[in-house]
Amino acid sequence: MPQHLDSNAPGGAPIRVGLIGFGVAGSVFHAPLIASTSGLQLAKVVTASPERAEQARGRYPEVTVVASAEALWEQAGSLDLVVVAAPNDTHVPLAHAALAAGLPVVVDKPLCATVEEGHRLIEDARRRRLLLTVFQNRRWDGDFLTLQQLLAEGALGQVWRFESRFERWRPVPKPGWRQRGGSGEAGGLLYDLGSHLIDQALVLFGPVRQVYAELERRYPGAQVDDDSFVALTHCSGLRSHLWMSALAAQLGPRLRVLGSTGGYTKYGLDPQEDALRAGGRPDQPSWGVEPAERWGMLGSGDDLRPLPTLAGAYPRFYEGVVAALRGAASPPVAAADSLAVLEVIEAARRSAASGQTVTLGAA
Q: Is the pLDDT of residue 182 over 70?
A: no
The CATH number of residue 144's host domain is: 3.30.360.10
Q: 127 and 143 share a domain?
A: no
**What is the rounded CA–CA span in Å between residue 169 and residue 5?**
45
* Under 8 Å between Cβ of 94 and 20: yes
Q: Mean of the pLDDT values across residues 318-333?
A: 97
Out of 8-12, 218-222, 277-281, which region has the weakest mean confidence (pLDDT)?
A: 8-12
Q: 159 and 305 share a domain?
A: yes
Q: 206 and 309 share a domain?
A: yes
Identity (one letter) of the amino acid at 250?
A: Q
Domain stops at, among 87, 105, 135: 135
Domain stops at, among 101, 135, 169: 135
pLDDT at residue 222, rounded to an integer? 85
Q: 202 and 265 share a domain?
A: yes
280 by Cβ neighbours in 10 Å (0-12 / 13-18 / 19+) ranks as middle
* Under 8 Å between Cβ of 360 and 208: yes
The share of the chain scoring above pLDDT 70, in percent, equals 93
Q: How many domains are contained in the chain?
A: 2
Q: 94 and 146 share a domain?
A: no
Complete edge-to-edge strand list for the sheet that includes strand 64-66? 64-66, 40-46, 15-20, 81-84, 105-108, 132-135
User: What does the mean pLDDT of the chain come to?
Assistant: 93
Q: Is the pLDDT of residue 128 over 90?
A: yes
Q: Is the pLDDT of residue 98 over 80?
A: yes
**What is the rounded CA–CA span in Å between residue 171 and residue 99?**
41
Distance of CA 11 to the CA centre of its chain: 30
Please state whether beta strands 227-234 and 208-216 pair in parallel, antiparallel, or not at all (unpaired). antiparallel
pLDDT at residue 129, rounded to an integer? 98
In a domain, 332, yes or no: no
Count of CB atoms situated within 10 Å of the CB of 136: 23
Whether residue 110 has a cis bond before it, omega within 30° of 0 = yes
Q: Is the pLDDT of residue 6 over 80?
A: no
pLDDT at residue 274, rounded to an integer? 96
Q: 293 and 176 share a domain?
A: yes
In a domain, 324, yes or no: no
pLDDT at residue 358, rounded to an integer? 98
129 φ/ψ sector (left φ>0, alpha ψ -120 to 50, else beta): left
pLDDT band at 176 (very low <50, low <70, confident <90, very high): low
Distance of CA 212 to the CA centre of its chain: 22
Q: 97 and 146 share a domain?
A: no
Complete edge-to-edge strand list for the sheet that includes strand 263-266? 303-307, 296-300, 263-266, 255-259, 159-167, 239-245, 227-234, 208-216, 358-359
In a domain, 70, yes or no: yes
Residue with more model confidence, 347 or 12 = 347
Q: 307 and 191 share a domain?
A: yes
Calculate ∠ Cα 195-60-34, nearest 5°: 35
Q: 184 and 150 share a domain?
A: yes
Q: 57 and 181 share a domain?
A: no
Q: 88 and 191 share a domain?
A: no
pLDDT at residue 219, rounded to an integer? 87
pLDDT at residue 351, rounded to an integer? 97
In a domain, 209, yes or no: yes
Q: 76 and 179 share a domain?
A: no
pTM for the full predicted model: 0.93
Q: Mean of the pLDDT values across residues 307-314?
A: 98
pLDDT at residue 361, rounded to an integer? 81
pLDDT at residue 10, rounded to an integer? 46
Give the three-class secondary structure for 55.
helix
Domain stops at, among 104, 135, 166: 135
Q: What is the sign of the dihedral through the CA atoms of 46, 27, 189 and 137?
A: positive
In a domain, 32, yes or no: yes
pLDDT band at 186 (very low <50, low <70, confident <90, very high): confident
In a domain, 338, yes or no: no
**What is the rounded CA–CA span in Å between residue 348 and residue 232?**
9
Q: Mean of the pLDDT values across residues 228-249?
A: 97
Q: Is the pLDDT of residue 20 over 70?
A: yes
Residue ranges making up the domain that contains 21: 6-135
* Under 8 Å between Cβ of 254 and 261: no
User: Which residues touch 250 (CB under 8 Å, ≥6 apart)?
Assistant: none
266 φ/ψ sector (left φ>0, alpha ψ -120 to 50, else beta): beta
In a domain, 337, yes or no: no
pLDDT at residue 187, rounded to an integer? 81
pLDDT at residue 173, rounded to an integer? 78
The CATH number of residue 107's host domain is: 3.40.50.720
Burial 206-238 (b: 16+ CB within 10 A, else e): eebebbbbebeeebeebebbbbbbbbbbbeeeb
In a domain, 52, yes or no: yes
pLDDT band at 7 (very low <50, low <70, confident <90, very high): very low
